Amino acid sequence: MPSFHEKIELRRLVENDLDQVLEIESSSFSRPWTHRHFLDEIGSSLSTPVVAVTGEGTVAGYLCLKQIVDEAEILDVAVNPALRGQGIGRRLVEFALSQSRGHGARVVCLEVAAGNGGAIALYLSQGFTEVGRRKKYYHNGDDAILMEYTFSAQSEE
């Protein structure tokens, strides 16, 4: 029997998705991205913003990926709170890695709050490692952890 996340499809984010995306964004972050942030990602030739949608067309999650030359960055990722813990976040991060690899990235980086144990566990499970820390980076005093996935060492295994 297929698991729920196998019924989820990934496709490019379009402006029509933004009402649902902004609802997930505001329930996921204390300083959520705005409509303008997402529109910029949709319009940027350097960015690949994607949504994960259910069979009914509901937005289950999204990820914004940007690549400059050989360096990719996951700028934003979130899953609908009601649909977490079902492999959708993993699907989105796996997509980011395969897309970046396909576009010749050497590394994928991201920044995550030190207190965000769930997201850190997700990134570690996908092969990201901690490469740095910015002390008290967030407005709540939390440190930012800088993480990277390097293709040269890991994609040839």
Ligand X SMILES: CC(C)(COP(=O)(O)OP(=O)(O)OC[C@H]1O[C@@H](n2cnc3c(N)ncnc32)[C@H](O)[C@@H]1OP(=O)(O)O)[C@@H](O)C(=O)NCCC(=O)NCCS
| 41 a catalytic residue | no
The distance of closest approach from Cβ of residue 125 to ligand X in the complex, given in angstroms and rounded to an integer, is: 4
Which positions from 72 to 111 touch ligand X by CB under 6 A, shown as an x/- string?
A: -----xxx----xxxxxxx---------------------
Tell me if residue 127 falls in helix, strand or coil: coil
Cα–Cα dist 108/100, whole Å? 7
Kind and range of the H or E run holding 23: helix 18-28
122 is a contact residue toward ligand X (CB under 6 A): yes
Q: 42 vs 75, which CB is nearer to ligand X?
A: 75
- Tell me the HSE value of 64 on the side-chain side, using a 13 A CA sphere: 19
| 111 a catalytic residue | yes
28 is a contact residue toward ligand X (CB under 6 A): yes
**CB 106, CB 150: distance < 8 Å:** yes
Residue with tokens 């910029």: 40
Residues annotated as part of the active site? 111, 123
Residues near ligand X, by CB under 6 A: 28, 77-79, 84-90, 112, 116-119, 121-122, 125
